[in-house]
Amino acid sequence: MENPSSSSFSSSSSSKPNTPSSIPKPHLHLETPPRPFSSLASSSSAASSSRTIYSDRFIPSRSGSNFALFDLSPPPRRAASSSSSPSPSSSSDPAREEGSSAYAALLRSVLFGPDGAAAAAPDTPDRSSALDGRVASSYGSSSSSSSPFSTPSRNIFRFKSEVPRVSSRALFEDSFHGALPTPPKGPRKVPRSPFKVLDAPALQDDFYLNLVDWSSHNVLAVGLGNCVYLWNACSSKVTKLCDLGVDDSVCSVGWAQRGTHLAVGTNQGKVQIWDASRCRRIRTMESHRMRVGALAWSSSLLSSGSRDKTIQQHDIRAQEDYVSKLVGHKSEVCGLKWSYDNRELASGGNDNRLFVWNQHSTQPVLKYCEHTAAVKAIAWSPHLHGLLASGGGTADRCIRFWNTTTNTHLSCMDTGSQVCNLVWSKNVNELVSTHGYSQNQIIVWRYPTMSKLATLTGHTYRVLYLAISPDGQTIVTGAGDETLRFWNVFPSPKSQTSDSLSDIGATSFVRSHIR
């Protein structure tokens, strides 16, 4: 049987390969493998007609596309023919045609920019002319018109016109800016009522104390009179941790970062360390001479502020009661907060002073004297290193922001009432302040604009105590009206919405007792 491939190559002169005249024919030898029997009929029929074969694929360019197909601009041919014969579009609604032309103009500006929007769409070149531009000239002038095999030109991998590469997001943002205005996003809705209230009998109405703290294990510690109670937010179980007796009372509580150890400051100047999981006291330190109203943890280091005007650093791993003493305040220390990197300690006192200490100093490295009342409210930003917020008492009423890295006073906001507490959200760049005289309100602020997102009311006494849940969504406030109120004020870190309540034991308004 004759090889079908060899007959195919010798069937006609138009299907022969283009042989350059400079190469002698005896040096050209073509060998093809035998093709299967099923392709015999197709190959014999294909041999009768001449085929054009190219060695590379066609790479389109934007400048050579027919944009008239997308109705971006009317083609010249249709414009000429429309005058002689009516079209269905000529009888359409004029308002619809005007809207369509406006959309086409907007789409052209998106695709080609402001300059290219006014220009006419480029014509699509003829297929033969496009192919002629891609095919190189033949080696011989006699075979250039009949040869199906040709060599591509050197411009095969180059665009005809350079198109700037921009991201689609930036393209549409720049093009549609002002053309299609989107409605501004409204402020986040914060529930105006607490979803849970706990009765807290004997919760003291004392501005200088810190009697509420929330652990990383979702356990709330509250000092009531001479006792400390633990409220499990998951199970709503209440546990009495300790009773100091009739001769002493609780002045401050503070959880360690791990959430298992609780520090308790007493009116007699003692600092006790308790293992909350076992309800067992680990040690007692009696180095202060007066009541301890402020506590702050930094890993295994515990800082305590007292009415004796000093701040003591306790290393619970050491045998000594304290490892260093910080002296600088001229009155009672009522506010203490370690920064999130545990490198700086901020302290506020009844002397209207705000001090910043480092890990190794016994004297303050930064002193801020702008407040005109006691500084109890202190909060470090979890979003920006060195950003510190502080609030003043009744005669001051201001929230001030400081950059401790550059030692600068950033801004001041007059709140109109005594600032009792501050806490920063770790999920969004917002903070909460609680207030006393004369409005007893809770305010949610957006930083750095300091615009009010919500003003929450309900306490009938000064809102002296504040703590935030470990998930960063819920705050609990305490006041001299002997109630603890739970508010859902911050969004979750994932959804950034405040629709879902955190798991703290209730999803509706409940009032119960903490003891």
Q: Give strand pairing partners of 285.
A: 271
Please spell the DSSP secondary structure of 185-228, one letter per residue.
PPPPP--SS-SEEEE-TT----TT-B-EEE-TTSEEEEEETTEE
* pLDDT tens profile 488-508: 999 988 755 434 344 444 433
pLDDT on residue 97:
72
Provide the pLDDT for residue 12. Answer: 40
Q: Which residue has the higher pLDDT, 1 or 417?
A: 417
**Cα-flanking dihedrals φ and ψ of residue 343, to 5°?**
-105, -25
Other CB atoms closer than 10 Å to residue 65's CB: what's the count?
A: 14
Q: What is the mean pLDDT of the chain?
A: 78
Confirm if 293 and 334 have CB atoms less than 8 A apart.
Answer: yes
CB 313 within 8 A of CB 325: yes
- The rounded distance, in Å, linking the Cα atoms of 18 and 29 is 13
| Spatial distance between the Cα atoms of 90 and 474, rounded to a whole number of angstroms | 64
Distances (CA, A) of 417 to 262, 346, 366, 441, 480: 32, 23, 27, 9, 17
State the Cα torsion 125-127-130-132 to the nearest 10°. Answer: -140
Contact criterion met (CB below 8 Å) for 346 and 377:
no
Of the given ranges (88-102, 336-350, 422-436), which has the lowest mean pLDDT? 88-102
Q: What is the mean pLDDT of residues 396-407?
A: 97
pLDDT mean over 420-437: 96
pLDDT of residue 22: 47
- Residue 181 binned pLDDT confidence (cut-offs 50, 70, 90): low
What are the pLDDT digits (tens) for 256-298?
999 899 999 999 999 999 999 999 999 999 999 999 999 999 9
- What is the average per-residue pLDDT within 296-320? 96
Q: Confirm if 157 and 61 have CB atoms less than 8 A apart.
A: no
Residue 46: pLDDT over 80: no
* Three-class SS of 243-279: ECCCCCCEEEEEECCCCCEEEEEECCCCEEEEECCCC
Which of 294, 133, 315 minimizes the C-alpha distance to 213?
A: 294
Three-state SS for 325?
strand
Number of C-beta neighbours around residue 200 at 10 A: 24
pLDDT of residue 5: 44
Structural element, H or E, at residue 466: strand 463-468
Tell me the CA distances in angstroms from 426 to 258, 382, 396, one per residue in order: 17, 6, 27
Beta pairing class for 212-214 and 196-199: unpaired
Rounded alpha-carbon distances, angstroms, from residue 338 to 302, 357, 381, 386, 424? 10, 9, 11, 11, 13
CA–CA separation, 265 and 244 (whole Å):
11
Which is nearest to 509 in space by CA: 490, 483, 479, 491?
Answer: 483
Opening angle at CA 101, ends 98 and 105, nearest 5:
140
Higher pLDDT, 118 or 139: 118
CA 149 – CA 505 distance, rounded (Å): 80
Q: Which of 8-17, 331-340, 482-491 has the lowest mean pLDDT?
A: 8-17
Spatial strand order of the sheet with 483-488 comes to 463-468, 474-479, 483-488, 196-199, 510-513
pLDDT of residue 340: 95
Q: How far is CA 325 from CA 259, 287, 314, 493, in A?
A: 26, 10, 9, 38
Gap between the Cα atoms of 238 and 231, Å rounded: 5
Angstrom distance (rounded) from CA 435 to CA 92: 66
**Residues linked to residue 433 through DSSP beta bridges, in sequence order:** 422, 443
Distance of CA 117 to the CA centre of its chain: 37
Give 158 or 352, the one with higher predicted confidence.
352
With tokens 């531009």, the residue in question is 133
| pLDDT, average across residues 293-307 | 97
Cβ within 8 Å of residue 360, ≥6 positions away: none
Average pLDDT for 153-181: 46
Q: What is the pLDDT of residue 89?
A: 46
Dihedral angle computed from the Cα positions of residues 499, 504, 507 and 512, in that order, rounded to the nearest 10 degrees? -140
- For every residue of 33-66, DSSP letters joined together read PPPPGGGHHHHHHHHHS-----SS-----GGGS-
User: Between 76 and 508, whose confidence is greater?
Assistant: 76
CATH value of 196-498 in 2.70.180.20, 2.130.10.10, 3.90.76.10, 3.30.1330.180: 2.130.10.10
The pLDDT value recorded for residue 360 is 87
Q: What is the mean pLDDT of residues 66-82?
A: 53
- pLDDT, position 108: 78
Model pLDDT, residue 110: 76
Hunting for tokens 């042989």 — which residue is that?
Answer: 19
Per cent of the chain over pLDDT 90 is 57
| Per-residue CA distances from 344 to 22, 28, 359, 382 (Å) | 86, 86, 6, 13
Task: Considering only residues 22 and 308, tell me which one the structure prediction assigns the higher pLDDT.
Answer: 308
Kindly calculate the radius of gyration of the chain based on its CA atoms and give it in whole angstroms.
Answer: 40
> Is pLDDT at 216 greater than 50 in this prediction?
yes
Domain map of the chain by residue range?
A: 196-498
CB 287 within 8 A of CB 303: no
**pLDDT on residue 109:** 78
Whether the per-residue pLDDT at 39 is higher than 90: the answer is no
Instruction: Report yes or no: 212 and 465 within 8 Å, Cβ to Cβ.
Output: yes
Write out pLDDT tens, residues 223-254. Answer: 999 999 999 999 999 999 999 999 999 999 99
| 83-87, 213-217, 493-497: which is most confident | 213-217
Query: Is the pLDDT reported for residue 102 higher than 50?
Result: yes
pLDDT tens figures, 342-372? 999 999 999 999 999 998 889 999 999 999 9
DSSP state of 127: H
